[in-house]
Structure 1
Amino acid sequence: MKTGDTLVRLRDLATVAFIAGLLTAFLVLPYALMGGLSVRAANRGFQSLPADLITPALPQGSVILAADGTKLATFYYENRVEVSIGQVAPIMRRAIVAIEDSRFYEHGALDVKGTIRAVIANVRAGGVIQGGSTLSQQYVKNALAEMADSPAERRSALEPTAGRKLRELRYAVGLEKKLTKDQILERYLNIAYFGDGAYGIEAAARHYFGVHAAALTLAQAATLAGIVRSPQTYNPHLHPKRGRERRDLVLNRMLELKVITPPESAAARSQPVHLRITKTPNGCVNSSAPFFCDYVQRDILGNPVFGKTLRQRRALLQRGGLQIHTTLEPKMQKAAQHAVDRHVPPKNSSGKAAAEVLIRPGTGEITAMGIDRKLGDSSKRGMMWVNLAADSDHGSSLGMQAGSTFKVFTLAEALRQDMPFGQKLFAPKEFLPTGFRDCAGHRVGDTTALGNAGDGEGGKDFSLMTGTWHSVNTFFLELERKVGLCETYKMATRLGMRKATGGKLQQYPSFTLGFNTVSPVRLAAAYAAFGARGKYCSPIAITGIGSPRGPVKVPSAGCHQAIDTDVADAVNHVLGGVLTKGTAKGNEIGRPAAGKTGTVDNFSSAWFAGYTPDMASAVWVGDPRGGYKHPLRDVCLGEGCFGQVYGADVPAPIWRDTMTEALQGVPEHGFTAPGGGFFRKGSGEEEDDKDKDKDKDKDKKHDAEKGDGKTDRDDDGLGPEFDWLFPP
């Protein structure tokens, strides 16, 4: 601090008691007379006011960042980015001081000359026409307004009353005792409103001119300095003529004070006001990954970890200046988005939609979330607010029936019970769902027989391998009865499955056929656990949060060993054949992979869930308006027209194209071979090989992955009379 500044402050402090009464009288005279407040009372009020202002942390926007640091979105209550005084161009500092408080570095909290000049002008006018506030007082006024918890408190902080002026002056005196002039100026520049939604000098520089505050020129600085007196009146974007006149007034004042030279002033005045308006998007609509962004937003707004109330959590997001680091990988997001848009175009004539989620095994990290829609008004074609990939608490979706992708949990339970690959079970043409009990011990079932799909695969034995490859319904119903409905349910829940609405999965014999409504993100996480050799991790989108006050704790994925490694290895071995010999044949990706198709009753939707040791994905295709009213029948999508859509027709190719692009450059890893005990009754493949040699023409005709719309090796095969098993 300079010696001159110190002497000025000492003088102010020494005489403040003496001049408080006099200057307070002048300062508040117009207000006091109007409000019936005596000068003596005003002076007593001044002396009794607290001098220390607890300055607020200014509202700063938060930013959501992808895993590589690129910006996905910003959220703000006020568009503001705080900067230090050193990050503001010196000419900008001089311009604001020149027009708002030219004696700022000479006076203390109170500018005696300025105040008397304003009082005289106000008395002559019979009202308040001129302010005598210093930059310190202006900062105090803005700070008190920022601290307001309600509109009423904000109005009170800004209304022209004697009480407010006294409070501002008292706080300004305390402020000048604690901070240097540059510190006060820094705070003022960060809190001031520059119109057009720009709070603080950095946001204003970016908004009006597309530059940082440190790079402002003389003409730009004068333009911005002229706005703060009346942001609406002097906004050059809204009022170009007034904005330029105000800018020239600032330049004249700077010339008068010899802050700039005549040539500098003339050069700046000769320039038109060149604006380069740069809007700062607020929210997820314009994000490159809008539904993932919305997932992150809901993650914060819905989790008590980030605040006890919704209001607190919203304030943290919009005002907390957070840097939210996420799991999204742009390369994988692009791969998923390209695939869903290519196979199910956003504005397809049938109104169908697709959603895909990618999760890294062993971490729970959501690396991509692609939906063939834009985030926005659902009444407009190609747009919607509902996140079809997420649970209801992260996107309002009620979930979709999972179809045959749920058969994997029955398979996993059978392998957990040490059933070998070659174990044979008879799959009848029709299955009577009796002999089932839920986890409460209650009998559940029906006397109506359930059948296979129209390919006539029933009436013979299947092994664990062949029954899974061909997705035979009656085989899995028999397998579920053998291992237990409750045990199958427990296997699914161990792997994170729950209804998309957050409730528990319902337990009926058709559990294995996937009547429960779930989300792609949950299904992808479950399949990722197989890729991670049984290690389950809850889906996560946030890896860390930084704030001006330090790191914010974020929930972990809670990774744990949900099933034994040997069981996961065996599941991987079986599901690997689905891509090479089963319903998804033809969708291989050139590296070890496994997966399962799923076609829901009446073709109301179709799925594919697949994975490698490095990445897992779940794809859903259906109709957001309701699959039973708008089934996947007689539709034309990106890759062709279909009489009916199976899991292998559209979802599996989406998965294939996504994984092929997303895993480029990622080292290839294979699955661990299953233990020898699972082969004690053979490989389980022999009977299937014999059938293929015997019935090549039949298999070719009925192979579901061909998408010919004639048969369904993966359809659940239930007519409308069985809709009770698949409640909408």
Structure 2
Amino acid sequence: MKTGDTLARLRDLATVGFIAGMLTAALLLPYALMGGLSVRAADHGFQSLPADLVTPALPQSSVILAADGSKLATFYYENRVEVPFAQVAPVMRKAIVAIEDSRFYEHGALDVKGTLRAVIANLRAGEVVEGGSTLSQQYIKNALAEMADNAQERRSALEPTAGRKLRELRYAVGLEKRFTKDQILEKYLNIAYFGDGAYGVEAAARHYFGVHAADLTLDRAAMLAGIVRSPTTYNPHLHPKRGRKRRDLVLNRMLQLKVITPAEAAAARAQPVRLKITKTPNGCVTSSAPFFCDYVQREILGNPVFGKNLRQRRALLQRGGLEIHTTLEPKMQKAAQHAVDRHVPPKNSSGKAAAEVLVRPGTGEITAMAIDRKLGDSSKRGMMWVNLAADADHGSSLGMQAGSTFKVFTLAEALRQDMAFGDKLFAPKEFVPTGFRDCAGHRVGDSTALGNAGDGEGGHDFTLVTGTWHSVNTFFLELERKVGLCETYKMATRLGMRKATGGKLQQYPSFTLGFNTVSPVRLAAAYAAFGARGRYCSPIAITGITSPKGPVKVPSAGCHQAIDSDVADAVNHVLGGVLTKGTAKGNEIGRPAAGKTGTVDNFSSAWFAGYTPDMASAVWVGDPRGGYKHPLRDVCLGEGCFAQVYGADVPAPIWRDTMTEALQGVPEHGFSAPSGGFFRKGSGEEEEDKDKKDKKDKDDAKGGDQPGRDDESPFLNWLLQAFRP
């Protein structure tokens, strides 16, 4: 050996001896029982530190599940799935102990021999090949970092100071007294960071290899065990060569400790690094039902049921390890998404949008929520953050004017006041809204005349039935004046309607024409109440939540009988004709159904709300930039081009296609027949039949003057009569 090499080795040994001596002295100082004031003072200081650390509940990812158990989204502060000791492969436990604390099962909170050996081994290797801290101390360090409330506290928990090491050691002593070695190792495996955003061994196994921690093989276990010393340096995803070298070092250490055989070590070293990186998306953007997912997220973040303040609720969602069971049915979600995308393509040239919500009558369960956009940056075409289907507190939307879909509340109030199907009102061509009072008794209205430019025409009598079928504005204004604006308002609120901003509906004569801005989810829930024979349920998206600590309370739908079942049956009877003889004719779905079109003033948007006893839906079509500036005029959408869009032109076909697909395989149920008292003045269809007869007579009269008819040939006419079968 050359003189220079000898001197270098001596210097190395001297350095090792010095560092080992200093480290040993520092670690043993609290335990020194020799005389001397400074030692006793140091020991007193150590003993005065708290011995018990309340081990924190580790942040665990939460998952949102559809009604069939399929995953919709994951939320996390740290991507972690905590698992018990038995669900970690034994080879993984051995690997982490071998490389981080090989005498773990032999020593207490402090391992002087292991620490000295680690210092010497690391200096000789020129890199960190063994850990100096025990696994108990490492767990304490990570636990203190997890308990930090802010970045400064986290830095303090991790900074390399003597004070921190002393605190860790004191806590480690307490930890070793309270838990078994296996329990401590379980805690460590669940808290350790494995790089690439994976916290804990289960998340790491899923992330790097697409398997559970219980299924890790020797080579994969060694790879993961090698990462924790420096999660960036030894990350095999970022540095495959370095990661493999570190893996082999772990295998060598396991072999040295006789944890594995030479044959096992050789076979594992021969394995190439085969990663199957499985990203765990955080949030709703990549969900198969992104806007429904966002609705659920906002429900948890905004409802005091889940915490006193936003901070607590966010911590519950991102750290609580929740399993959130929801009402969404993938089959119905797909049906709704297909329909809105087909009729209003996400990147249509006119910039129009569509939103649809499905609600199950009698339960309030939201089974689908579809928008013809992706959840994301609203400045990009075909994307938006605002949930047009929801209220402001669940999606930032300020709502959209409801149009003629609100006429159903005036109809329901008229039937509640015992009006009959055959009751008639004259519908003028223009209506001056006077004689109205709100619920405070104030006169409301002005001298501006309202007309029938939307869905129907006036100028003669209509019954409750025919006025509804043709959606005649002036008829409903007359009807609202007759039954009372306040009473109509109360009917709407009994059925859950409120402004999308959360405020009360405004009361003006045009209330029945739907000037209030509402959300599709609320409208769908209101129409669902008719399908449930008057039983109203608040729309709900969550059926249950479980956490590691047990069940979490969730909001109730608060189902109750909002209106008499007989009134609901009568409404269903009238609205059934809208699909067969009224403004939505041609949008039948092959089973009993009812609904109402809605066209907002100046064609600023269009609606259709329809239902069966099994499912209700509300569809809105309009322009997110503002309907009055960008009306539904001269637009080309998925199914064609339109001079102007009525509720029957695009929203009703969306509803029809959705319901037809969504209800496949669902048993057909019909509506209950209304009581006979509603027919005391006839069916209400007589005027419709009379109008049709008058029109036919006029057509026949016109036809008699046309050349080429059979009655121009007497002989041919006699021949047809003579040989009539």
2-structure distance, mates of 1:240, 1:23 = 34
Shift of the 595–696 alpha-carbon distance from structure 1 to 2, 3 Å rule, reads farther
In structure 1, distance between residues paired with 2:437 and 2:377:
45
Structure-to-structure mapping, 1:637-648, within 5 angstroms? 637-648=637-648
Query: In structure 2, how many angstroms separate the alpha carbons of the residues matched to 1:24 and 1:693?
Result: 108
Distance 1:323 1:95 in 2: 31
Corresponding residue for 1:247? 247
How far apart are the structure 2 equivalents of 1:635 and 1:417? 42
Structure 2 CA distance for aligned equivalents of residues 555 and 87 of structure 1: 34
1:545 alignment partner AA: I
Could you tell me whether the CA contact under 8 Å between 1:566 and 1:674 is conserved in 2?
yes
Where does residue 111 of structure 1 map in the other structure? Answer: 111
Contact 1:26 1:119 in 2 (8 A): no
In 2, Cα distance between the equivalents of 1:210 and 1:456?
60
Q: Residue 143 of structure 2 aligns to a residue in which SS?
A: helix
3-state SS, counterpart of residue 544 of structure 2:
strand
Structure 2 CA distance for aligned equivalents of residues 355 and 28 of structure 1 = 69
Distance 1:639 1:455, change over 3 A: closer
1:694 and 2:704 equivalent?
no
* Residue-pair matches, total: 671
Task: Name 1:295's counterpart in structure 2.
Answer: 295
Say whether residues 1:568 and 2:568 are aligned partners. Answer: yes
Deviations 1:145-192 (A, max 9, x none): 111112121111111122211121111112112211111111110000
How far off its partner does 1:43 sit?
A: 2.3
Q: For 2:458 and 2:588, locate their aligned partners in 1 and report how far apart those are by CA, in whole Å.
A: 27
Q: What residue number does 2:83 align with? A: 83
Would you say the 8 A contact 2:454–2:601 is kept in 1?
A: no
Which residue in 1 is equivalent to 2:702?
none
* TM superposition shift of 1:433: 0.7
The 1:696–1:238 alpha-carbon spacing in structure 2 relative to 1, beyond 3 Å, is farther
Kept in 1, the 8 Å contact 2:454–2:600? The answer is no
Distance in 2, Cα, partners of 1:243 & 1:509: 73
Q: Which AA in structure 1 matches 2:199?
A: Y
1:336 corresponding residue in structure 2: 336
Quote the residue 1:350 is aligned against: 350
- C-alpha separation in 1, matches of 2:590 and 2:241: 65
Once the two structures are TM-superposed, the CA of residue 122 in structure 1 deviates from its matched residue by: 11
- 1:220, 1:674 → 2: CA distance? 69
TM-score (norm 2): 0.90
Deviation readout 1:452-501 (Å, 9 max, x if unpaired): 12788311100000000000010000000000111101111111101000
Distance 2:695 2:604 in 1: 30
Quote the residue 1:208 is aligned against.
Answer: 208
Residue 617 of structure 1 deviates from its aligned partner by: 0.3
Note the C-alpha offset of 1:697. 11
- Work out whether residues 455 and 472 of structure 2, in 8 Å CA contact, stay in contact via their aligned partners in 1: no
Give, in whole Å, the separation in 2 of the partners of 1:397 and 1:414: 32
User: 2:57 is matched with which residue?
Assistant: 57
Instruction: Write the distance in 2 (CA, Å) between the matches of 1:39 and 1:661.
Output: 81
CA contact (8 A) 1:27 1:115 kept: no
CA distance in 2, matches of 1:628, 1:170: 69
Instruction: Give per-residue Cα distances to partners, 1:689-722, cap 9 Å, x unaligned.
Output: 11123336999xxxxxxxxxxxxxxxxxxxxxxx
Aligned partner of residue 189 in structure 1, secondary structure: helix
Say if 1:120 and 1:665 are closer, same or farther in 2 by CA, change over 3 A.
closer
Give yes or no for contact 1:418–1:678 (8 Å, CA) kept in 2: yes
Residue 26 (structure 1) shift: 2.7
Counterpart residue number, 2:98 = 98
User: What letter corresponds to residue 602 of structure 2 in structure 1?
Assistant: N
**Which protein has the larger Cα radius of gyration, Structure 1 or Structure 2?**
2
- 3-state SS in 2 of match to 1:446: coil
Aligned to 2:184, what secondary structure does the other structure show?
Answer: helix
Equivalent residue runs for 1:118-137 within 5 Å: 132-137=132-137
Corresponding residue for 1:422? 422
Cα distance between partner residues in 1 of 2:557 and 2:542: 10
The gaps in structure 2 that reach 5 residues or longer are: 1-20, 31-36, 700-725
Contact 1:28 1:162 in 2 (8 A): no
1:446: how far off? 1.0
Indicate how the Cα distance of structure 1 residues 515 and 297 shifts in structure 2: closer, same or farther if over 3 A, else same: same
**Distance 1:212-1:337 versus aligned 2 partners, 3 A rule:** same
Deviation, structure 1 residue 271: 2.1
Please name the residue that 1:439 is paired with.
439
Q: Mark the CA change 1:217 to 1:198 in structure 2 (over 3 Å): closer, same or farther.
A: same
CA deviation vs aligned residue, 1:565-603 (integer Å, no higher than 9, x gap): 111111001101000110000101111110000000111
SS at match of 1:355: strand
* Contact kept? 1:25, 1:39, Cα under 8 Å: no
Cα 1:382–1:123 shift into 2, 3 Å: closer
Q: Give 1:359's aligned amino acid.
A: V
Q: 2-side partners of 1:544 and 1:446: how far apart?
A: 50
Q: Indicate whether 1:507 and 2:511 are aligned.
A: no
Aligned to 1:74: 74
Amino acid at match of 2:189: L
AA aligned to 1:597 is T
Cα shift at 1:105: 1.2
The structure-2 alpha-carbon separation of the partners of 1:129 and 1:342, relative to structure 1 and needing over 3 Å to count, comes to closer
Secondary structure (helix, strand or coil) at the match of 2:461 reads strand
Q: CA deviation at 1:39?
A: 5.3
Residue 8 of structure 2 aligns with which residue? Answer: none
Distance 1:425 1:145, change over 3 A: same
Distance 2:691 2:240 in 1: 81
CA distance in 1, matches of 2:476, 2:47: 84
Paired letter, 2:523: L
1:496 counterpart residue number: 496
C-alpha spacing 1:23/1:45, structure 2 compared with 1 (3 Å): farther
The match for 1:17 is none
Q: Distance in 2 between matches of 1:374 and 1:647?
A: 24
C-alpha distance in 1, partners of 2:697/2:317? 61
Query: 1:317-716 alignment to 2 at 5 Å?
Result: 317-453=317-453, 457-695=457-695
For 1:562 and 1:442, how far apart are their aligned partners in 2? 26
More divergent stretch after superposition (61-70 vs 268-277): 268-277
Deviations 1:609-666 (A, max 9, x none): 0001110000000011111111111111111111111000000000011011111111
Q: Which amino acid aligns with 1:174?
A: G
Q: Which amino acid aligns with 2:527?
A: Y
Measured on the aligned residues, the alpha-carbon RMSD in Å equals 2.2
In the alignment, the residues of structure 1 paired with residue 455 and residue 270 of structure 2 have an alpha-carbon distance, to the nearest angstrom, of: 83
Match of 2:9 in 1: none
The residue type paired with residue 134 of structure 1 is T
Q: Give the SS at the match of 2:368.
A: strand
Q: Which moved more, 1:44-53 or 1:682-691?
A: 44-53
Confirm or deny: 8 A CA contact 1:429 1:456 kept in the other structure.
no
Q: Is the 8 A contact 1:473 1:513 kept in 2?
A: yes
Alpha carbons of 1:379 and 1:475: their partners in 2 closer, same or farther (altered >3 Å)?
same
Contact 1:24 1:166 in 2 (8 A): no
Q: Which moved more, 1:143-152 or 1:302-311?
A: 143-152
**By how many angstroms is 1:339 displaced?**
0.6
Residues 282-332 of structure 1 show CA distances to partners (whole Å, capped at 9, x for unaligned) of: 000000000000000000000111011101100000000000000001111
Q: Cα deviation per residue 1:182-235 (whole Å; 9 max; x = unaligned)?
A: 111111100000000000000000101111111111111111110000101111
Q: Give the 3 Å change call, closer, same or farther, for CA 456–140 of structure 1 in structure 2.
A: closer
- C-alpha distance in 2, partners of 1:455/1:166? 80
**Structure 1 pair 136–406 and aligned structure 2 pair: CA distance change class (3 A):** same
CA shift for structure 1 position 25: 3.7
Cα 1:509–1:697 change in 2 (3 A) is: farther
1:414 CA drift (Å):
0.3
Which secondary structure state, in structure 2, belongs to the residue aligned with residue 92 of structure 1? helix
SS in 2 for 1:634: strand
For the structure 1 residues 38 and 502, does the alpha-carbon distance in structure 2 shift closer, same or farther, using more than 3 Å as the test? farther
The aligned residue for residue 267 of structure 1 is 267
Contact 2:210-2:276 within 8 A present in 1 as well: yes
SS at structure 2 position matched to 1:695: helix
Contact 2:426 2:475 in 1 (8 A): yes
Q: Is the 8 A contact 1:621 1:650 kept in 2?
A: yes
Change (3 A) 1:494 1:419: same
Between 1:610-619 and 1:443-452, the stretch displaced more is 443-452
Percent of paired sites with the same residue: 91
Looking at structure 2, the residues matched to 161 and 447 of structure 1 have their Cα atoms a distance apart, in angstroms, of 81
Change (3 A) 1:433 1:175: same
